[in-house]
Structure 1
Amino acid sequence: MNLISVSELINTLSAAEKRQFKLMAQKQQKEKVYLYLFDLVAASGNTAIVKAAFKKAYPSSSLDISARYLHKLLCDMLVRNQLKNDASLHLIQGLMKAKLLRQRNLTNQAIKQTRQLLSGYGTIDDLLLKYLLKREELNYLSEVQFKNISEKQLIAEQQIARDLLKNIRNLQEHYALYELLKYRLIRSAPRGKPGHPGCFNDLLLEELAIINSRAKQNPESQKLHLLFQSFYFTYTGNYPAALKTFYLLNSLFEKNKALLQHPPLDYFDTLDGLLENLKAVHQYDHMPYFINKLSLLENKKYPAYFNYLIKKTVLLFELEILIIKGEWLKAYGSIQATPVWVRNEFPSVQPQKQLLLLFYYSLICYKNQQPGKAKKILTPVITSRQDHNIFYNVCRCFNIVLHYESNDMEYLDYEIRSYKRFTAARQSPIPNIEKLLFKTIALRPWLQTAFRNRQQLKKLTAIITTLQQNPVENSLLKYFNFMEWAIAKFEQ
């Protein structure tokens, strides 16, 4: 584990977890190099500063070894904490104990441990772990020469193991179809535009075969079935059926709360996906219902990073609805009412959401005639250096717009040169968005007459038409309409 990995892990720790780790480390009497490294990383995320300070304090110590050891200790602490709440992790630990007891020929203790776990797995929907436990029990019966068990009872126990394997196979088939569907959707037409259902006929037939099989449909397989349907109906434009499936999917999670993870990341991912689908098909009126369900996941018993992820995601979707409706003043009031720490805490947890949230904050400030504040908020996005990420390129272009609107012409030229250097290594042609933006700035419409600007705008018609006809580039205008912005500059 290198320094970056350790830094990423520490950034996910809450204040309570950092305090717990320091208290645990301080129980040791000897000097702890790893604790000094922990304090350095927690105080500064800059790896260059951390390396320089560590080398100065401990010139004879290896930073790489200290980082690996620190990462191990942090993971051990987090696993111990998670054991209290994660039923699956508790099962894995119990299975390890049973194996160790068997290795030491303590078979009676091993089978007692296994049967205790099996008797308590009713609320745990983890088929593979259940099978492994049942296999341990059958191995034990074989080792003790099948004492105190009839042939009928043995066959019944073996049938339980067979049923578990059958359900595992059924679940795997569900996952395979769902993953293939997602794969085809990602590489097909843009989201929000109905596609032809014929390209999924083979997957539909296989999915129907699984549903109609005799295998027991557990909550996990039901979830995958509904996810498959929701993606299919959304893509093919059957929005009423898709909406019905969304509500059924949420209802399934609510009926099986005892099976939720700690924290419920699976439920979070599902709600997040449903909201993204609703946004893609412009069903904005249904979004508040699922946003509310998402907000209800926040709970003090869950880790701090998860609660902040919930806060940010809820805020993100609420802002998106206001942005789509063009309610810029209301959106600005929303970000003003939200504490700054909600935006800034745990930036490394789902960093793409963090960057998108900062972009929306910046966009809302710009729309409320505050380009200077918008530039400041967007700075962490620009400095994140996400090479050749489409969204990052949009942010860089928007940053150029902000400097233009601030009349910061000296820095504007520098930023344009910097951006061109950044994108020079790409193999693909220059996007029309960039062509339109740079030509608009180069023509300096603020210095021209109205007649001259109308003439110049006519020359840009070819780029604008090509941009409108390119579905990928046109979809990027949902973040910021560079085309509308450019046309407005020539019509002022």
Structure 2
Amino acid sequence: MKKFDSLVYLVGSMSKSEKKSLTLSISKNGAEQDYAVLYRLIARSDSVNETAIRNAYQKEARGQSFDISMHYLYDRILDVLVSLHRRKTVTEDLTRQLSKARILYERDMFYECFESLNHILKVAREHEAYEILFFAMRLKREYLLRLNFPNMTEQELYHIHHEQKEIIRNIQKITEQGSLFDLLKYRLLHRGNIRSEKQKEELNDLVVRELYISASFGDSGNIFEIAKNHKLFQASYLMGVGESASALNSFRELVRLFDENPQFRANPPVYHLSVLEGILHMLRSSRNYDEMDYFRRKLEALSQGYSKEFKENVACLAFQYEMFPYFDRGDYAACRDLMGGHRELYDNIDQLSSLRKSELLLYTALVHVGLGEYSQAKKQINSILFDRNIEYIPIMKTIRLVRLIVYYELENFDLLQYEIRSIRRGLALKKEQAFKTEYLMLRLLGNENLSLASGKAHARIYEQIEALRNDKYEMQLLVLFDFTAWIESKLKKLPLGMVLSRYRSGV
């Protein structure tokens, strides 16, 4: 992404409080700086056109370098954001304290330096911040060496070496445990749920190694990170092999572990949030809607005591999982009622992150599609910003395919063909595996009129649809929105909600 585009996106992502802090920081410097002029132009302009902003800047800044101010403003914003967030996690706070300890040593304030390092070591142990613990201990050992080990016995020195080795072993085990979970998730995503004994055997190597790591801690197995990773691994494996009841028990134990250890929560608890979101996504993927309520309530309770922006993002996620049981069954009237009862989410949509905002607009657009309100759907889907950042968002493929559906339903065939060509170029350039659903949608919509297909063509399409529905890799896309149901609704000339209702109920 061009530096200017990155800068505009960064400014746009800032909350009101963050912008206020930046403005106060800029005003402390007295006369308005060149980068302050640029910030004001970007913040107040409705246009993000680089040429227009550049020309306006040159008039106000009297020929000063636009590129230099652009880079300086970008760094200045990041400095302010870092200062605002520096105490939000224990790791960030301890990292800052490590820098202070170094300064104290350089000023020959040895007593204060070791006092600070001992405090860092104590807090790092309490919060299992092993990386910080390792660096703090290494720094302490280095300073003791430089001072010829003042007032130390050999046994005390041996204890420091032993503890440092233990920390390294813990880091290695936690890292390996994390890699095993990554491999488990990857295999489940690409091979789908495990149903046969042969498929289970393919995961045995991961299960045995993970159990060995967890058991190797013995009496010290109460380490939060190890217990958390173990329960997450167990739950994901059990869900993957179809033992949903046992998986749910493991998920509940995992949530209980978080509740019993609030000292490990960051501010805000982003990781805790991601775990709950992962659990809810797994339940949705397996259509286990009855169990979602418990974890959704945990999600709503999580936001208490944190910033307004965090609360809004959690509320948005909780709303989605309240709506999904109706959405996935094609009950779009119930979805519309729920949307009407959560108008505050739409009123505060600018406070949402790019991901949450994109999700909210996407599912709102899809509800309008299900209700046949295609102009409203177009308005919502076009409100999603398209830039290079969104490529990292998992729902990007869904957004682009839904946009095709909207163009098709509105008979905007010129835009439809343009977008199809754009997507095909993107698929040709990228090396990662694409979904078969994408190619099917592009091919069918390229014909512009599905209902005119012949009977033989219908039969071939139904065969492809059935294959997609049984393909576990394709379910990563279809769980977000069932494109096969939409294709079927066009072929049979039935409402989308009716097709989904029949398909989900097995009729």
In which range does the TM-score fall when normalised by the shorter chain?
Answer: 0.7 to 0.9
- 1:77-103, CA deviations, whole angstroms, 9 ceiling, x for partnerless residues? 222222344221111111112122323
Pair 101,59 (structure 1): closer, same or farther in 2 beyond 3 Å: same
Pair 467,382 (structure 1): closer, same or farther in 2 beyond 3 Å: farther
SS at match of 2:268: coil
The corresponding residue for 1:117 is: 120
Distance of 1:391 and 1:197 partners within structure 2: 30
The corresponding residue for 1:448 is: none
Q: 1:374 aligns with which of 369, 372, 377?
A: 377
1:433–1:473 CA contact under 8 A, matched in 2: no
Letter in 2 for 1:279: R
Deviation of residue 387 (structure 1)?
7.3
Distance of 1:474 and 1:281 partners within structure 2: 10
Pair 140,417 (structure 1): closer, same or farther in 2 beyond 3 Å: closer
The corresponding residue for 1:87 is: 90
2:214–2:227 CA contact under 8 A, matched in 1: no
The corresponding residue for 1:251 is: 256
Task: Identify which range, 275-284 or 41-50, moves more after superposition.
Answer: 41-50
Task: Identify which range, 283-292 or 73-82, moves more after superposition.
Answer: 73-82
- 1:235-261, CA deviations, whole angstroms, 9 ceiling, x for partnerless residues? 222212211111111111111111111
The corresponding residue for 2:501 is: none
1:49-60 alignment, distance < 5 Å: 49-58=52-61, 60=63
The corresponding residue for 1:133 is: 136
Alignment of 1:23 onto 2:24? yes
Q: 1:307 aligns with which of 288, 308, 311?
A: 311
The corresponding residue for 2:5 is: 4
TM-score when normalising by structure 2: 0.83
Number of aligned residues:
473
1:379-390 alignment, distance < 5 Å: 379-381=382-384
1:173-252 alignment, distance < 5 Å: 173-186=176-189, 188-190=190-192, 194=195, 196-214=199-217, 216-217=220-221, 218-252=223-257
Distance of 1:128 and 1:99 partners within structure 2: 17
Task: Identify which range, 456-465 or 52-61, moves more after superposition.
Answer: 52-61
SS at match of 2:191: coil
Deviation of residue 224 (structure 1)?
1.3
1:41–1:50 CA contact under 8 A, matched in 2: yes
SS at match of 1:345: helix
1:435-454 alignment, distance < 5 Å: 435-439=443-447, 441-442=448-449
Letter in 1 for 2:130: L
Distance of 1:120 and 1:243 partners within structure 2: 33
Structure 2 gap ranges (5+): 429-433, 497-507
1:92-491 alignment, distance < 5 Å: 92-186=95-189, 188-190=190-192, 194=195, 196-214=199-217, 216-217=220-221, 218-302=223-307, 304-338=308-342, 339=344, 341=346, 344-346=349-351, 349-351=353-355, 353-381=356-384, 392=396, 394-403=398-407, 405=409, 408-409=410-411, 412-425=412-425, 426-427=427-428, 431-439=439-447, 441-442=448-449, 456-470=454-468, 471=471, 476-478=477-479, 479=481, 480=483, 481-489=485-493
Pair 23,341 (structure 1): closer, same or farther in 2 beyond 3 Å: farther
| % same residue | 23
Deviation of residue 395 (structure 1)?
3.9
Distance of 1:363 and 1:323 partners within structure 2: 9
Letter in 1 for 2:329: K
1:436–1:463 CA contact under 8 A, matched in 2: no
Deviation of residue 393 (structure 1)?
5.1
1:295–1:314 CA contact under 8 A, matched in 2: yes
SS at match of 1:278: helix
Structure 1 gap ranges (5+): 446-452
TM-score when normalising by structure 1: 0.86
Letter in 2 for 1:261: A
Letter in 2 for 1:442: N
